[in-house]
Amino acid sequence: MATISNVDVRVFRGDAGGGEMVTYRVPVREGMVVLDAVLWIQANAAPDLAVRWNCKAAKCGSCSAEIDGFPRLMCKSPVSDYGTELTVRPMRAFPVIRDLVTDVSWNYEVNKRIPAFTPSEADMNDAEAWRMQQEDVDRIIEFRKCIECFLCQDVCHVLRNHDRKDAFYGPRFMIRIASLEMHPKDSLDRRALVKGEAGAGMCNITKCCTEVCPEHIKITDNGIIPLKERMDDLYFDPILWAARKVRGR
């Protein structure tokens, strides 16, 4: 296989007021990922190129961007997957601060609105109550793999195309709620939140979020759908509805 010696990287340069795509020619090293290319540009051609990154090992979820239009972690995307040219743009679902950096603060606001993990008073005072089987924790381990890259939020059409941040918390926080709801020791019931402000009903299960998740969390199948089912049990089950009618509550 012939090795490519250079790659033309087209990067968005600009801010909320607008910008342009600028092309930089980057020498390719073996094993180079897109983040390496962007950092090379920063060190050698555009010192003020704004980009977020931290661990460079797909564990912190900072370097989210859209590479050739697909939401990805830059640190996990080998340049060799793209041939001789590629484009890098900031995530589209969030306002641009500068270049590849977007304002993701909305996500942090949402997180604050989800009631925290709350064990029962009795369990708090009983060490033995904290014995759990591996099977019990395995189910939520998947959700807790989330590195908060917000790529699922970026690709979700409710947030991306319809900008309904007022109506839907987004896939990330469905997963967050699922990890709390399914925690063997949590004692709260967040189904009213799931139906109400979190807006699980907005999700129509296109599974785009699952497709972009770098941690391969089955966001829709294992997180959102079970939450919808729990919500349905409480609010939309016809038998329970009838029973409540009869009992008067």
Helix, strand, coil percentages for the chain (3-state, nearest 5): 40, 15, 40
In angstroms, the Cα distances linking 48 to 17, 35, 171, 179 are: 17, 15, 33, 39
Q: Could you tell me if 116 and 182 are in contact, meaning their C-beta atoms sit under 8 angstroms apart?
A: no
Contacts of 123 (CB under 8 A, 6+ apart): 129, 130, 185, 187
Could you tell me how many residues of this chain bind other proteins (CB under 8 A)?
62
Q: Cα separation of 68 and 66, whole Å?
A: 6
CB atoms within 10 A of CB 227: 24
CB atoms within 10 A of CB 128: 6
Decide: is 180 part of the binding site for other proteins (CB under 8 A): yes
Mapped onto helix, strand or coil, the DSSP state of residue 126 is: coil
Q: Pick the closer one to other proteins by CB: 33 or 158.
A: 33
Q: Pick the closer one to other proteins by CB: 76 or 157.
A: 76
Q: Pick the closer one to other proteins by CB: 10 or 145.
A: 145
How does DSSP classify residue 117?
P
CB atoms within 10 A of CB 196: 12
Task: Scan residues 115-144 and list those touching other proteins (CB under 8 A).
Answer: 115-117, 119, 124, 127, 130-134, 136-137, 140-141, 144
Q: Cα separation of 179 and 5, whole Å?
A: 45
Q: Pick the closer one to other proteins by CB: 64 or 220.
A: 64
The type of residue at 72 is: R
Decide: is 42 part of the binding site for other proteins (CB under 8 A): yes
* Rounded least distance, CB 164 to other proteins, Å: 23
* Rounded least distance, CB 22 to other proteins, Å: 13
Task: Scan residues 4-23 and list those touching other proteins (CB under 8 A).
Answer: 15
* Rounded least distance, CB 8 to other proteins, Å: 18
Of the ranges 49-57, 189-197, 202-210, 239-247, which one interacts with other proteins (CB under 8 A)?
Answer: 49-57
Query: For other proteins, which residue of 112, 245, 247, 249 counts as binding (CB under 8 A)?
Result: 112
Query: For other proteins, which residue of 22, 97, 167, 188 counts as binding (CB under 8 A)?
Result: 97
Q: Pick the closer one to other proteins by CB: 96 or 228.
A: 96
Q: Which of 174, 179, 183, 117 lies closest to 142 in space, CA to CA? A: 179
Decide: is 152 part of the binding site for other proteins (CB under 8 A): no
- What residues make contact with other proteins under the rule CB under 8 A? 15, 29-33, 36, 42-44, 46-62, 76, 78, 97-99, 101, 103-105, 108, 111-112, 115-117, 119, 124, 127, 130-134, 136-137, 140-141, 144-148, 180, 183, 186
